[in-house]
Structure 1
Amino acid sequence: MTDKTMPALRFRGFYDAWEQRKLDTIFKKIRNAFVGTATPYYVDRGHFYLESNNIKNGQINRDTEVFINDVFYNQQTDKLLHTGDIVMVQSGHVGHTAVIPSELNETAAHALIVFTNYKEATDPFFLNYQFQTYKAKRKLETITTGNTIKHILSSAMKEFFVDYPSFKEQKKIGSLFKQFDHLITQNEHKTRLLKQLKQAYLQKIFNQELRFAGFSDDWEERKLGELASVLTGFPFKNEDFVANGKYLVITNGNIQNDSSVVDVLLGNSIDDISDEIKERYYLNKNDILVTMDGTVGRTAKVVDDNLILAQRVGRLVSNTNPEFVYQWLNHGSFFNEMTKVSHGGTIKHISLNEISNYRSTVPSNNIEQQKIGAFFKQLDITIDLHQQKLDLLKKQKQAYLQKLFI
């Protein structure tokens, strides 16, 4: 027991220095979970089989599930996972960990390192969250092997040092981060449900299964080029960019699938531009942008100032209701059509003409367009607020991880 020290932030009543302990002084067993092919034993339903892709962000997710039959499961009786065991991804995204909850007691697993049978009172959640700190991740990188696919050995983990306070302090820290994860999971669920709700309404309203009261006129087919001017940006060069320039240069990378607005937290900036470039390429609020390279057909709205558009990003300047046009492009068929007409090899491309020639039906009544746009705008605002809350919780968790651990 060497190198005693303390974290920057502590719960009241705890003053003792932390120890450094090798993991094999904490666990009686650090072993590999079953490694081999279970393909002949896969079944539609049966015993849940824990794999590396189920371990994410310190938790077990079951978005994808594999099941094994009784025969294969019964062969694993001496290798099953139990409540409180810690599992670590052994290959690929190595070092990701999770604690086995009570509902997964006696679970079979594949391609994981298992930490089991504690030698003394230890809070598994405390260790699980310690593995999520930057310090632990950097240390794990030094003992991984492999180039394209990374690997980590259970024998190396036996010699791995962790910071180790008293059991009571471990419980306090573990409990705090469990609360963080509970809040994060709840908000992820709410945000996901809201996004699903929006997609359902987009389908029903733009398929005309649902109409606002008082509107019964037939919709008419229109080209996108009839509802908006379709333009693109300026071919800036690398030497044009400066640090902390006045104008952010917007590229395809600023248009993200999970946000209705242009991401202004990344990219290059410029300072000196001519009046001509500013007049032609300065983005105005309510402009709609479309990705023209890579994953083509993604869209986002401009809501910020001091943005200049780069070449190969489509810019739609609506001559009707910009909010309606944006939502009209997001019910699915525009993205699918742009994907279908795209050309190129590994990186796909679309042209301004292909964007402009997109066709679909729209309400003939401008007031109905406004109502549709306003309805979905409010949904987007609600989704963005939940997403911001979720992002804040994740940042707070990361901040506390660095303060409450050494």
Structure 2
Amino acid sequence: MKDEKKAPKLRFKGFTDDWEQCKLGDVCDVYDGIHHTPDYQDNGIMFLSVENISTLTSDKFVSRDFFEQNYKIFPEKGDILLTRIGNVGTPNVVESTDKLAYYVSLALLKAPKINSYFLCNLICTQEFKKELHRKTLTTAIPQKINKDEIRKITFFDSTSSDERKKIGSLLEKINFTITLHEEKKQQLKCLKSALLQKMFAYKSGYPAIRFEGFSDEWEQCKLGDVADRFDNLRVPVIANLRKNGDTPYYGANGIQDYVDGYTHDGEYILVAEDGANNLKNYPINYVSGRIWVNNHAHVLQAIPYLASTRFLGYEIGRSNIVSLLVGGGRAKLNADALMNMNLNLPKIKEQELIADLFQKVEISITLQNYKLDKLKNLKSSLLKKMFI
């Protein structure tokens, strides 16, 4: 039912007609998957559920007989799968030409007369999400939206198939570029993880991978043998310092704010003392320059002729530092335990080469994050301006 017209703020040249309001059921058919858990197989027809929406791939399969009996209508290339239970409202376009089975937690949208990428991105707009939320049973556990309610969602649609195609194509190119950068970022993170395993010595005293020209056994030592620890100022109230400052402020969980003034100036490793929220990835930061550190983080600096501060940060980070914590709900890492932890160190030159390599990998990861943020911001802006 079309009862209102509007125009988006940003359009391709040559398109001037107003968009018309309609219901999702006007432009596509909506189906849901089977309501019972199937008997999974080692191979056969891939079975998708809500947790598979981002990739539309799964390690679960159903038999071909089961598929033929239960799926008269099934996802095909160009269709859209939309999450409807638990995670409500995340869409993805089916790219595969293989047959796919799907669970009731997904809705299947078949819209042969409308560009799939246009519709998929339209579903991602804030206005569509608001309408979707209004029709979602948020009090249900887990929350869900019924198939018939999905059909009733209203939105503004272009009357031109060419305009839909252009918008869909542009946004799909951006999505594809985002995916490429996310994959590269993941590859870099995997590279860093592999290097942490291979370039640092364990019980044998020798790492699996080394720079050419280095063959000496790594020496065991205590952290306190090669690094200094500094006590922090214990200032009871620093709220006034947090206003309009330009110095990073660190606590147990990393950077928190910016303040006036500083407590340290130089190259340091910061290790959470207590109150750390994430014990799996225990907070350890390498910092350089002027910083303010509160009394919930240890401040360490390598003794220059013995160790590289940046290298020590990686060596401490790969150790089982959580095993040194004491106390109950608010576990604490005291100074003696930290400074007595065992380390394996090569000669200073090898430390510096390893630290430089990891720094380059981390800079590449940061660059990927920057590119991803720019692309996601661009996509968000286009979703706001190219749709209504």
**1:65–1:240: structure 2 CA closer, same or farther, 3 Å change rule?**
farther
Instruction: Specify the alignment match of 1:78 in structure 2.
Output: 72
Q: What are the residue-to-residue correspondences of 1:92-107 with 2, within 5 Å?
A: 92-104=86-98, 106-107=99-100
* Structure 1 unmatched ranges of 5 or more: 255-262
Report if the CA contact (8 A) 1:287-1:322 is conserved.
yes
Distance 2:344 2:75 in 1: 55
Q: By how many angstroms is 1:225 displaced? A: 2.5
Instruction: Specify the alignment match of 1:159 in structure 2.
Output: 152
Distance 1:366 1:242 in 2: 38
Report if the CA contact (8 A) 1:230-1:355 is conserved.
no
Report if the CA contact (8 A) 1:294-1:347 is conserved.
no
* Structure 2 unmatched ranges of 5 or more: 202-206
Distance 1:398 1:223 in 2: 50
Q: By how many angstroms is 1:309 displaced? A: 1.7
Pick from 36, 46, 49 the counterpart of residue 48 of structure 1. 46
**1:20–1:375: structure 2 CA closer, same or farther, 3 Å change rule?**
same
Q: What are the residue-to-residue correspondences of 1:233-252 with 2, within 5 Å?
A: 233=232, 234=234, 237=237, 239-240=239-240, 242-252=242-252
Structure 1 residue 299 corresponds to structure 2 residue 284:
yes
Q: By how many angstroms is 1:37 displaced? A: 1.7
Distance 2:73 2:358 in 1: 51
Report if the CA contact (8 A) 1:295-1:348 is conserved.
no
Q: By how many angstroms is 1:237 displaced? A: 4.9
Corresponding residue SS for 1:75: helix
Could you state the TM-score of these two structures normalised by the residue count of structure 1? 0.83
CA displacement 1:104-159 (0-9 Å, x = unmatched): 4x3110111222254xx211111111121222223322222234632111111111
Corresponding residue SS for 1:2: coil
Corresponding residue SS for 1:96: strand
Q: Percent identity?
A: 28
Distance 1:348 1:69 in 2: 50
Instruction: Specify the alignment match of 1:127 in structure 2.
Output: 119
Larger mean CA deviation between 175-184 and 348-357 belongs to 348-357
Question: Which AA in structure 2 matches 1:317?
Answer: Q
Larger mean CA deviation between 64-73 and 242-251 belongs to 242-251
Q: By how many angstroms is 1:270 displaced? A: 4.1
Could you state the TM-score of these two structures normalised by the residue count of structure 2? 0.87
Instruction: Specify the alignment match of 2:210 in structure 1.
Output: 211
How many pairs were matched up? 371
Structure 1 residue 195 corresponds to structure 2 residue 176:
no
Report if the CA contact (8 A) 1:287-1:301 is conserved.
yes
Q: What are the residue-to-residue correspondences of 1:142-153 with 2, within 5 Å?
A: 142-147=134-139, 149-153=142-146
Report if the CA contact (8 A) 1:22-1:159 is conserved.
yes
Report if the CA contact (8 A) 1:241-1:268 is conserved.
no
**1:34–1:240: structure 2 CA closer, same or farther, 3 Å change rule?**
farther
Distance 1:404 1:212 in 2: 52
Q: By how many angstroms is 1:232 displaced? A: 6.3
Distance 2:266 2:47 in 1: 50
Instruction: Specify the alignment match of 1:327 in structure 2.
Output: 314
Report if the CA contact (8 A) 1:232-1:309 is conserved.
no
Q: By how many angstroms is 1:178 displaced? A: 0.8
Instruction: Specify the alignment match of 1:179 in structure 2.
Output: 173
Q: By how many angstroms is 1:238 displaced? A: 8.0
Q: By how many angstroms is 1:226 displaced? A: 2.4
Pick from 268, 272, 280 the counterpart of residue 287 of structure 1. 268
**1:93–1:232: structure 2 CA closer, same or farther, 3 Å change rule?**
farther
**1:141–1:217: structure 2 CA closer, same or farther, 3 Å change rule?**
same
Corresponding residue SS for 1:89: strand
